[in-house]
C-alpha cells in the first residue's frame, strides 16, 4: 500500500499498550476498550522485565515492522525505564553501524494521576485505586504524544 501524500510505501505498525497492575478496575476496563478500538494489544505486567518480555513476544523477531509502544507509568518508574531506553538506542546505533537492519520504534509515556509523591518521584498510592490522565492517554493512543523515536 502506498501513502498518497508522501508517495512512500506504508507498512503495518504493531501497537502495544503497557499498563501497570496498580490501576483501578474501572480505569483498566475503560483503557482496554479505548485501546481495542485503536488496534492496540494491551499488556498488563507486574514488573518491568515481564512487560519487556511480553513486548518481545508480541513484536516477533526478524519481522522489521515498526512498533509503537505506549506505556502508563509513574514518574519514578519512567526514570528507570528511560535508562533502559538509552541502552536500546545505543544498541540501535550499533546495529546501524554494523549494517544490520533495525526496526523503527516509537515510544509514548502517559502518567498516573493521584497519590502523593514519595522518594525518587514514585507515588505513594494504594494499589487498585490509581487512575490515568485520560486526555494524555487519548493523545498518546492517537499518535500525537511521542516521547522518543528509535
Q: Which residue has the cell 493523545?
A: 139
Q: How far apart are CA 20 and CA 18, in angstroms?
A: 7
Q: Rounded to an integer, what distance in angstroms lies between the CA atom of residue 35 and that of residue 23?
A: 15
Q: What are the boundaries of each domain within the chain?
A: 14-56+72-149
The predicted-structure confidence for 77-117, as pLDDT tens digits, reads as follows 666 767 777 777 788 888 889 988 888 888 888 877 766 66
Three-state secondary-structure class, residue 27: helix
> What are the cell numbers at 117?
509523591
**Which pLDDT band holds residue 124 (cuts at 50, 70, 90)?**
low
**How confident is the model at residue 1, as a pLDDT?**
42
pLDDT by residue (tens digit) across 3-28?
444 444 455 788 888 888 778 888 88
Residues in the chain: 150
Amino acid at each position: 500500500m502506498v501513502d498518497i501524500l508522501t508517495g512512500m510505501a506504508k507498512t503495518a505498525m504493531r501497537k502495544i499498550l503497557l499498563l501497570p497492575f496498580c490501576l483501578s478496575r474501572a480505569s483498566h476496563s475503560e483503557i482496554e476498550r479505548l485501546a481495542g478500538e485503536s488496534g492496540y494489544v494491551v499488556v498488563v505486567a507486574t514488573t518491568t522485565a515481564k512487560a519487556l518480555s511480553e513486548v518481545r513476544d508480541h513484536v516477533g523477531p526478524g519481522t522489521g515492522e515498526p512498533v509503537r509502544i505506549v506505556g502508563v507509568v509513574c514518574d519514578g518508574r519512567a526514570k528507570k525505564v528511560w535508562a533502559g531506553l538509552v541502552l536500546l538506542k545505543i544498541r540501535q546505533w550499533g546495529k546501524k553501524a554494523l549494517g544490520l537492519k533495525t526496526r523503527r520504534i516509537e515510544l509514548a509515556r502517559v502518567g498516573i494521576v493521584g497519590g502523593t509523591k514519595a522518594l525518587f518521584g514514585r507515588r505513594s498510592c494504594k494499589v487498585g485505586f490509581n487512575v490515568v490522565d485520560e486526555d494524555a492517554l487519548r493523545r498518546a493512543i492517537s499518535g500525537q504524544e511521542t516521547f522518543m523515536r528509535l
